[in-house]
C-alpha cells in the first residue's frame, strides 16, 4: 500500500492523545526469549523504544537471555541439570549467564539503540546494587530470589536522558552472581519506579481462552480474576510466571501491565500510540469482566 | 483508504529522524491571512502545533489578522484611506486592530490549542515590551516599524512548557498602539530567539516560476538568489514582503525559512516530520541552484 | 506644602515595618469601574503597583471593564437586554466584552506599568486555562460562573519578576467566551494563590453606616458579621457583590480583604505602607466588633 | 511640620526611580569615627541600612572603631607611641583593637540591625580569610597593608539575605592580627564585589573649597582632578586618606564613590533615594568639572 | 616508633568504615576550658577539625572562654562577685566576656583553622540572632538563659563549605549581651541542627566510678541512668553541668553525645575514626547498662 | 608491629595536605594485567578506591582483562593467531573479549567496590557511545583504534556519587565490538575528563635504569625525555605502550601520570596520600632531569 504524506501527517495527528497520556511517564518494557531472536524484529523494537523515548516517555528496557545462554553453556561444556523444572545453577553457570546477559546481549541492545539515535546505558544487578538477591533454594544453587531493588541508578540515567537497559542478574555482597527470573525483576523494578505501565513482550498473541484460536483473545483482565483463570486452565504452563509478574506489578501499584506479541512488527507502538489494544491488559480491581 | 495499525506504527517510526532533528529546537510559525479563515483547517493547524510541542519542539505561534479586522472597522464605521498601498492608521484604527488581534483572534487560537490538550499563553507587543515600535512615516499614522524586540516573556513561557501565541501589535512608552507587518515581526522574533526555522503559512503553494503552474515550484532558494528572482518578476506583488521576511530571518541567523501552503491539511507536519518538502525553503549561502 | 529631603528620608524610614510585613507576600488588587476612568488616577495607581512590586511585594492586578464595554457595544449597535438586573449576553456580546477587556484595557494597563519602569504581562481566562467557566443560567447566555481557576501562569510570571494583569473573561473548551463578575474572579484567584490580601479599589470611601456620612466609616468587619450588616441595610445594592467577594476571599483563606477608595490618590500605598487604614478591612473570625 | 498620609504616599512614589536604579546592586557603606558616637544617629543609620536592604539593595557595612579603641587601650594601660603620625602597634595593641572592633562594635552594629528587623552577620579579617595583610613597615609593628581580599564569605551572606558587617582587622597565616585603615579596606572590598557605589560616612559636609564655608561644597569630582585639588590644598590633612580611598575605589571599577555627612539624619537615604546629592561624589573620567 | 608508608596506608584503610558512618553528618564539638590552654594541643585539635571537615563531615565548633576572660577582667580592674557559685555579671562584664570570646578567642580559632587549610567563619549570638537570651535571675545580672536558637546562619555556612565557629554569647533585642553556659548552648545547637553527635572536649578522662582511678571509666551511659549516677555521687561537682548538657542533647534528638579528654592528642579523631571509644558516650534509651 | 590509636590519629592527620590537594579532583586509575590476579590485592585496591572516593576524590576505574580472556578463548576452542605481535581478532573473539571484560571482570569489580561500601556502576564502550572505534588494520580484524570518546556518562555517574568502572571495549554504529588497548583508552578518558592524574597500576616497580636493580628507579620523567629513554633502551618491550600512554595523557593536558607497582599493598594510597613517591611520575615540560 502506498501511503502519501498527507496520510502520514494524519496518522501522526491521531497519535496525539496517546502521546499526551504517556508524556513524562515511565514504561518498563520486558523483552526476551523468542521475541528477541529475529534480528529484524529486534531492530524494529529498538527503533520503537527510541521513538517512545524521543517523544518524552521514560522507557526502561529489561531483558532476559534465552537461547544464547544455552549456546554458550554448551560451548564451554556445561550440562544443565534440572530440579522440578528449574535449572540447577552452580557458580560457574551463573557466571556464564552473567557474561552472556550483561556482556553480550545487554551491550548489543545498547548499541542498537545508540545506532538508531537514542542514548542508552546498560546496567546489571551489581551496578549500584540494583538487584540484590539470595538463594531461593539451596538445592538449586545460584537461582536467586529478590532481596532488594535499588532503582537509584535507573533514575539517574532517566533524569539525564538515557534509556537504561537492564540485565536481570542478581548480586549479593559476597561477589556471588544469581540467575533470576527476568519477568519478576521487571515487575519489581516497575513497581519501585512507580511506572505507568509494564509491557511484557512475548511470542504469543496474549491470553487466549482457547490457546489454538486467536479469536478468543481476552483483552482485559482484572488482577482479582486471575486465580479463576488459572483454575480454569486458561492460564497454564509457561504462561503462569509471565502472568504472575503482570499481576504482581499491578498489585504493587503499576497502573497497567500488558502481555503483547513481540512478533508483530511495532506491537509496542500499536499498544502505546494507537486505539488498538493488542494482547492482554491487566488492571487493578475486582470487576469480573470475565462474566460478561 | 483504510490504514491499519501496523501501518500507523510504521509511519510513526519513519518520523523518528525528523523528531530527532528538531528536538528542543525553536520553530516560529507565522500564521495568518486566508489560511486562517477556514475553521476546520485552523483546528488542524492548532492540532499540529500541539503535536510538535508535545514531541519536544519549542513552538512559537505568530499570527496576523486580516478579514476580521476589516469587518470590525466596517462595523464601527471606520473608512480606510490608503497612501501608496498602505492603510493610513489613525489612533482609533490602531486600537481596533489591537482589540481584534490581541482580544479576539489571539484568545481564540490560545483556546483552540488548550482544547487539543496543549498549554498556551497569548502575548501582544505591550507584554514585557515584546514589540516596541515607532512611526514608519508620519503620514501613515500608527503604522509601526520595529524599534526593539524583547523575547524574555517568550522564553519564560517556553521554559515553563507553554506555547507562546503572539499578536503582532507594537507599543511605545506613550501608550500608543502600532499596526505592524506580521511577517516582519515573525522574522525578527525568530532571529532573536535563535530559532531553527521560520515557517510562514500562506495560501499559495510556494514560489512558482510560472504562477499559474504548480509544477514549476522552486523548492530551495538561497538568500543571494532572491534579488534576481525579483528582477525576473518571479517574486512580485504580495509575495515580495513574505519572501523578504524569510530572507531577512535567514540573514539574521535563522537556519531555514519556509513558505508553505496552509490550505494543505497538516502541511506543517508534512514539512517538519516527513521527507517531503512542500513549499519553498530559503537557506543561507550563494550557491546558484537556480542556474541548474 | 514644601517637603524637604530630610522629611522624605524620615517618611521612607517609617514605611520600613510595613515593607517588612508584606515582603515576598502576594497582594491581589481588583481594579475597575469608575476608579479606572480618570487617566491621572489610573497612572498613579499603576505607579503605586510598580513601587509595591519593586520593594519585593508580589502584586497581581485583576481588572474589570465598565463604561468602555458599553461604548463599544453601542458603537457596533448591540442593544443590551436585562433579565433580573443581569445583562443577557449573547455570543457576540461576550466576544466584544473580551475584545475590550483583553485587547484594549488589559494592554493599556500593561503598557502603563511598563512605562513606569515595571515589568508586566497580560493574561485572560483562556491563557493557560486561567478561568474556566460554564453558563450560570441558560436564559442569561454567556454569563459565566467559575468552574476552575488555574493560577500556574500567574505563578510563572510572578516567579520571573512580572506583574500579571488579568482580564476577567472566562473560557470553556468549546471556544466560548464568558462574561464573569470581576470581583468574584479576584476573590477566587487570591484564594488559589494563598494571597496575603485582596484589595478591591472602588469609588466609595468604604462601608459606611450612613452612606451619606463619611464619618460613619466602619474600619474593620469580621466575616461573620456581614449577614447582620446586610439585614440592617448597611450593605445594600451594588455593595453586596463587592462585599461578598471580600468575605468569600477571607473564607477561602486570604488573610485580609479591603475595600478602599480608588479616587483617593495613592490610596493603595496609604493602605499598605502607612499606619492609616483607609476604607474597610474584612478579617476572619466571629468577634463582633460591631457591638462595641 | 505635620505630614499627612497622602504626602507620605507621594514621597514613596517619588523614590521609585531611585529604587529601580539600585535594585539588586551592591552598595558598600563605610561607617566610622565620630559619625558612630551619637547613639541616636547610629540607630538611624542602621534603620536606613535595613530599609535599603529590604527594598532589594545589597548593602555591605564596613566599620572602623575610633574612640572606643583608645578607651580600651587606656583601661588596660597601653600607652600609644606614634611614628610619623601613625600609631605604633605591638601585638598586644593589635589584639585589643581586634577585640573592640570584632568583639564589641561589630556585634553591637549587628544587633542594632537585627533589632530593626534586618538580618545581619558580622565578619572580621580572619573569617574566610577576608582580609589577609602583612606589615606595612617593620617599625610600625602590626600596622597592616592589604595582601589579599577574599569576598566569598560576603557573597555567601548577601546571597542568603544577610547584611554583612565587616570589621577591618587584617590577619595572616601565622595568627597575627593587623590594624588596617578602614577606608582602604572598604575601597578594596567595594572593588572586589563590583559594587555600584561606595559611600563613606564622615563627620564633614563633603569636600569644601573653603573648609569653613559649607556653601563652597564641591558636588562632583572626577578622579583625574584630585591631584590638582591636593596641590591647591583643598584636599588636605585627614581628608587625604578618605578621598584617596574614594578615588582608589573608582579607579578599581566602582561606579561612584561618595563622601557624605553622617551627622545629617538619614543622609544615606537622601543620597540614595532622592534627587538631592549631599556631600561629594567621585566619578571616573577626566572631565574637568572644576574648571566650569 | 617509625611507621612506614605501607602501615600508613593500612591505617587510612581502617578508617574507611568510620568515614562512611559520619559522611555528610553534622558533629558539634564543644571545646573550651583547660583543653584550650595548651597551644600545641589547640593546634592539633584545629587540625583534626579540618581533617574531619575535609573528608565530608560537617563540623560545627562551639567554644567557651575560661582563663582569658578572667585575665581581661583583671586587667580592666573588674572584681567578680559570686552569688550561689555563679558569677554576678554586670553589663560591663558581659561586654568584656563578649570581646574576649567573639573578638579574640573566636578569631584565633578561625585563624588556626584557616592556617591548616580549612575554611571557617566565626559567629556570635548576635549574628543572625543565633542565640537569643534573657536574664536567668535578676540578681545575677546578665547571666542568660536561652530563649531562642536560630541555626540558619550555621546552615548557610555549612552548605557553603565553611566550618562555623560559635562564641557562646547571648543577645537580646535591646542590644544587651549575656554570658551563657557554653555546654548548654552546644547542646541546644546540636539539637536544632539534628546533629549526629555532640562531642564535649574536657580535661578529664570521662566519667569515672572512682574519680581517682582511670581504670573505672564508664564507657556508655543511657540518659535514663544519669539520675542514679548523680544520686550515687559518681556525677558530681563541675561534672554535673557537662553531663546534663550531654543528656539534654540526647533527649532533644542528637543520636550520641560524648565526653572526651581534650588533653589526649587527637582524641577527637580517635573517637570518630577508630574503633577505640575514649571517654564516655551518652545514648538514648533506658537499658540499664550500669546494672551489668 | 602494634600501632596504637594515637599513632593512627597522627597518621590520619599527616594525610591532611594530600587530601586537600586532590579534593574534588578526578583521578583515573588504570588497573589490569597481573596486578589483578591476586584476589587479596584486588580487594585491597578496591578498598583504596572506596577510601579515595569517600574523602572527596572523583575516581574513575579503567580496567583491562588479561588471563581471563585467554582462559575463556581456550574454553570455547578459539586459537589465537598473531600478526606482528598483535592478536588477530575475528568478530567472535571480539565478542568473547567483551563478555569477559564487560560481563565478568567489570561486574566483579563493581561488586567488590559495593561490598566495601562504595557506590559503583560499570560502563563499556557501547554505553552512551563512550568508546567509538574503527579497525586499526584490516588484517588484524576487530583490533580497534579510538575514533571518539564521549565522557558524558562518566560525568553523569561522578556527579551522582558513583565510581564509574570502565571496560575498554570499543563499539561502532554497526554493532561491531573492538578489542582496544586499555592503557590508551585510560589516557584518552583522563584527558577528556581533564583529570588531575592518571595512575597506571602495573606489576613492575616503575621505570628502572637497570631493570634488574630496583634501586635504579627513575622517580620523575618529563615527557620530552622519553624519546631518549627509548633510544637508550631503558624503556623497551612491554613498557613502551604503558609509558606512551602516560606521556600521551600528559601531552593532552592531564597534570601528572604515574606508573606504580600494583603488587605493593595500598600502593595507590601511598602514592596519593603520603609524601612517598612510589613508581615513576611523568610530568609536562622539557627539564632534563635525566642529566642530573
**Beta carbons of B125 and B179 less than 8 angstroms apart:** no
Does the pLDDT of residue C2 top 80, yes or no? no
pLDDT in tens, C14-50: 888 999 999 999 999 999 877 787 888 899 999 999 9
Query: What pLDDT is recorded for position E84?
Result: 74
Distances (CA, A) of B109 to A89, B32, B51, B190: 64, 11, 15, 20
For chain E, give every domain's residue range. 25-204+239-273
* Interface mutation vs chain E, best among D111, D133, D150, D151, most E CBs within 10 Å: D111
Q: What are phi and psi of D171, to 5 degrees?
A: -135, 165
Tell me the average pLDDT of chain C: 90
Distance from CA of A262 to the nearest CA of B (A): 13
Q: Are A156 and F169 an interchain contact pair (Cβ–Cβ within 8 Å)?
A: no
Please report the pLDDT score of residue F52 as a whole number: 95
Who wins on pLDDT, F66 or C233? C233
Strand order across the beta sheet in which F169-171 lies: F144-149, F131-135, F169-171, F177-179
Q: Which residue in chain B has the smallest CA separation from A115?
A: B17
Instruction: Give the gap in angstroms from C-alpha E138 to the nearest C-alpha of chain D.
Output: 22
Q: pLDDT at position B161, please?
A: 96
Distance, in Å, from the CA atom of D128 to the CA atom of D115, rounded to the nearest integer, reads 26
Coil, strand or helix at A41: helix
Closest CA to B202 of B108, B112, B267: B267
Residue F157: which H helix or E strand, with range? helix F152-159
Cell readout for A77 is: 561444556
Q: List, as ranges, residues 182-201 from B with C-beta within 8 Å of C.
A: none
Residues of chain E with pLDDT > 70, as a percent, come to: 97
Residue F67, pLDDT score: 81
Active-site residues of A, by number, are 30, 33, 66, 183, 242
Does residue C30 carry a catalytic annotation? yes
Q: Can you tell me the distance from the alpha carbon of A23 to that of A266, in angstroms, rounded to the nearest whole number?
A: 19
Using alpha carbons only, how large is chain C's radius of gyration in Å?
19
Q: Is B210 an active-site residue?
A: no
**ipTM field:** 0.93
B262 is catalytic: no
Q: Mind listing the pLDDT tens digit for each residue in D25-52?
A: 999 999 987 778 788 889 999 999 999 9
Q: Which of C242, C261, C262, C279 is catalytic?
A: C242
Where do runs of H (alpha helix) occur along A25-105? 39-54, 67-75, 91-100
Partners of B202 in beta bridges: B261
| D20 and C CB contact within 8 Å | yes
Q: Region F179-199: what's the mean pLDDT? A: 96
pLDDT of B39 reads 86
Which residues touch F237 (CB under 8 Å, ≥6 apart)?
none
- D8 touching chain C per CB within 8 A: yes
Is the pLDDT at A280 greater than 70? The verdict is yes
| pLDDT band at residue C286 under the 50/70/90 scheme | low
- How does residue B110 score in pLDDT terms, banded at 50, 70 and 90? very high
Does the pLDDT of residue B276 top 90, yes or no?
A: no
Q: Is E128 on the interface with D (CB under 8 A)?
A: yes
Average the pLDDT over B81-93 and give the result.
83
Residue range D169-175: mean pLDDT, rounded: 95
- Please determine, for residue D285, whether its predicted confidence score (pLDDT) is greater than 70: yes
- Burial status of residue D40 (CB atoms within 10 A of its CB: 0-12, 13-18, 19 or more): exposed
pLDDT, mean of residues E24-40:
87
Contact A121 F123 (CB under 8 A): yes
pLDDT greater than 50 at residue B223? yes
pLDDT band at F290 (very low <50, low <70, confident <90, very high): very low
| A91, A169 Cβ separation under 8 angstroms | no
What pLDDT, on the 0 to 100 scale, is given for residue E292? 35
Q: How far apart are the first and last CA of chain C?
A: 38
Any chain F CB within 8 A of the CB of A128?
yes
Residues F230, F244: Cα–Cα separation, whole Å: 10
* C-alpha cell belonging to residue F85: 605481535
Residue C268: is its pLDDT beyond 80? Answer: yes
Residue with cell 533514575: A155
Nearest to C11 among D8, D17, D50 (CB): D8
B160: three-class secondary structure by DSSP: coil
> Using the beta-carbon criterion (under 8 Å), do A5 and B270 form an inter-chain contact?
yes
Average pLDDT over residues A37-47: 89
Strand partners, B30: B62, B200
* Residue C78 near chain B (CB below 8 Å): no
Given a cut of 70, is residue C287 above it in pLDDT? Answer: no
What is the CATH T-level fold of the domain D12-291, as seen in this structure? Carbamate kinase (3.40.1160)
Mean pLDDT over F40-54 rounds to 93
C-alpha span between E61 and E116 (Å, rounded): 15
- Residues of F (45-74) whose Cβ lies below 8 Å from A: 72
Q: Do residues E216 and E209 touch, judged by C-beta distance below 8 A?
A: yes
With 0-12 / 13-18 / 19 or more C-beta atoms within 10 angstroms meaning exposed / middle / buried, residue B164 is buried
- Tell me the per-residue pLDDT of E196-245, one tens digit each, with 9 for 90 and over: 999 999 888 889 888 888 889 999 999 999 999 989 888 888 788 889 88
Q: What is the 3-state secondary structure (H, E, C) of A94-157?
A: HHHHHHHHHHHHHHHHHHHHHHCCCCEEEECCCHHHCEEEEECCHHHECEEEEEEECCHHHHHH
d(CA D168, CA A99): 66
What is the CB neighbour count within 10 angstroms for residue B91? Answer: 11
CA–CA separation, C283 and B140 (whole Å) = 55
All chains having 3 or more CB pairs closer than 8 angstroms to chain C? B, D
**What is the CA angle F270-F276-F279, rounded to 5?**
80
Residues D162, E128: contact at Cβ < 8 Å?
Answer: yes
pLDDT digits 0-9 by tens, A76-125:
988 878 777 677 899 999 999 999 999 999 999 999 999 999 999 999 99
pLDDT digits over B3-24, tens only? Answer: 787 888 888 888 889 999 999 9
Output E82 or A194, whichever has higher pLDDT. Answer: A194
Cα F199 from Cα F61, distance rounded (Å):
10
* B7 is known as an active-site residue: no
Query: pLDDT tens for residues B155-167?
Result: 999 999 999 999 9
Which chains form contacts with chain F, at 3 or more CB pairs under 8 Å?
Answer: A, E
Higher per-residue confidence, E146 vs E83: E146
User: For D55, which of C1, C9, C55 is closest by C-beta distance?
Assistant: C55
Any F CB within 8 A of E161 CB: no
Question: The CATH number of F21-291 is which of 3.40.640.10, 3.40.190.10, 3.20.20.70, 3.40.1160.10?
Answer: 3.40.1160.10
Which residue among the candidates D64, D172, D206, D242 is catalytic per the annotation? D242
Over the stretch B232-262, which tens digit does the pLDDT of each residue have?
Answer: 888 888 788 889 889 999 999 999 999 999 8
Taking domain A24-291, whether its CATH number is 3.40.1160.10 is answered by yes
Q: Which class would CATH give E25-204+239-273? A: alpha beta
Mean pLDDT of chain B: 90
Nearest CB among C103, C115, C169 relative to B102 is that of C103
- The whole-angstrom separation of Cα F185 and Cα F182 is 5
Residue F286 binned pLDDT confidence (cut-offs 50, 70, 90)? low
Q: Dihedral (C-alpha) F63, F67, F69, F74: value to the nearest 10 degrees? A: 180
First to last CA, chain E: 38
Do the strands C169-171 and C177-179 form a parallel or antiparallel pair, or are they unpaired?
A: antiparallel
On whether the CB atoms of residues E191 and E255 are closer than 8 A, the answer is no
Q: Give residue C292's pLDDT.
A: 35
Higher confidence at residue D54 or residue D1? D54
d(CA A226, CA A282): 9
The yes-or-no verdict on residue F66 having pLDDT over 80 is no
D178-200 pLDDT, tens per residue? 999 999 999 999 999 999 999 99
* DSSP-assigned letter for residue F125: T
Indicate the SS3 state at residue C201. strand
Asked if C16's CB is within 8 angstroms of D47's CB, the reply is: yes
- Number of Cβ atoms within 10 Å of the Cβ of E214: 12
Q: Which residues contact B21 (CB under 8 A, 6 or more apart)?
A: none
Parallel/antiparallel/unpaired status of strands B82-83 and B86-87? antiparallel
- To which H or E segment does residue C30 belong? strand C26-31
* Residue tagged 575463556 (cell numbers): F72
Residue C197's closest CA among C284, C275, C262, C132?
C284
Give the Cα separation of D179 and D270 in Å (integer): 32
Instruction: State yes or no: pLDDT of C253 exceeds 90.
Output: yes
Distance between A167 CA and the closest CA of chain B, angstroms:
26
Segment A77-86, tens digit of pLDDT: 888 787 776 7
What pLDDT, in 10s, does the model give residues F93-135? 999 999 999 999 999 999 999 999 999 999 999 999 999 999 9
* CATH class given for the domain over C22-291: alpha beta
Give catalytic residue positions of E.
30, 33, 66, 183, 242
In this prediction, residue E67 has a pLDDT band, given cuts at 50, 70 and 90, of confident
**A201-228 average pLDDT score:** 90
Task: Using pLDDT thresholds of 50, 70 and 90, give the confidence band for residue F288.
Answer: very low
Residue A287 has pLDDT above 60, yes or no: no
Closest to F258 (Cα-Cα) out of F170, F198, F185, F171: F198
Amino acid at each position: 500500500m502506498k501511503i502519501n504524506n498527507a496520510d502520514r501527517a494524519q496518522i501522526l495527528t491521531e497519535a496525539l492523545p496517546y502521546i499526551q497520556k504517556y508524556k513524562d511517564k515511565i514504561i518498563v518494557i520486558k523483552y526476551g526469549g523468542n521475541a528477541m531472536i529475529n534480528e529484524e524484529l529486534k531492530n524494529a523494537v529498538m527503533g520503537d523504544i527510541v521513538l517512545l523515548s524521543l517523544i518524552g516517555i521514560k522507557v526502561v528496557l529489561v531483558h532476559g537471555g534465552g537461547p544464547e545462554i544455552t549456546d554458550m553453556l554448551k560451548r564451554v561444556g556445561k550440562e544443565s541439570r534440572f530440579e522440578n523444572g528449574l535449572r540447577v545453577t552452580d557458580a560457574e553457570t551463573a557466571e556464564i549467564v552473567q557474561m552472556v546477559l550483561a556482556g553480550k546481549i545487554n551491550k548489543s541492545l545498547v548499541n542498537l539503540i545508540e545506532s538508531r539515535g537514542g542514548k542508552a546505558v546498560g546496567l546489571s544487578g551489581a551496578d549500584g546494587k540494583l538487584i540484590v538477591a539470595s538463594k531461593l533454594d539451596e538445592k538449586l544453587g545460584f537461582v536467586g530470589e529478590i532481596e532488594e531493588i535499588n532503582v537509584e541508578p535507573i533514575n539517574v540515567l532517566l533524569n539525564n536522558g538515557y534509556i537504561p537497559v537492564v540485565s536481570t542478574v542478581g548480586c549479593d555482597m559476597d561477589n556471588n552472581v544469581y540467575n533470576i527470573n527476568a519477568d519478576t525483576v521487571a515487575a519489581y523494578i516497575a513497581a519501585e519506579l512507580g511506572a505507568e505501565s509494564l509491557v511484557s513482550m512475548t511470542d504469543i498473541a496474549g491470553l487466549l481462552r482457547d490457546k489454538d484460536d486467536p479469536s478468543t483473545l481476552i483483552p482485559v483482565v482484572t488482577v482479582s480474576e486471575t486465580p479463576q483463570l488459572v483454575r480454569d486452565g486458561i492460564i497454564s504452563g509457561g504462561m503462569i510466571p509471565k502472568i504472575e509478574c503482570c499481576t504482581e506489578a499491578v498489585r504493587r501499584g503499576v497502573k497497567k501491565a500488558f502481555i503483547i506479541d513481540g512478533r508483530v512488527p511495532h506491537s509496542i507502538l500499536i499498544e502505546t500510540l494507537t486505539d488498538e489494544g493488542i494482547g492482554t491488559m491487566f488492571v487493578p480491581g475486582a470487576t469480573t469482566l470475565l462474566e460478561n
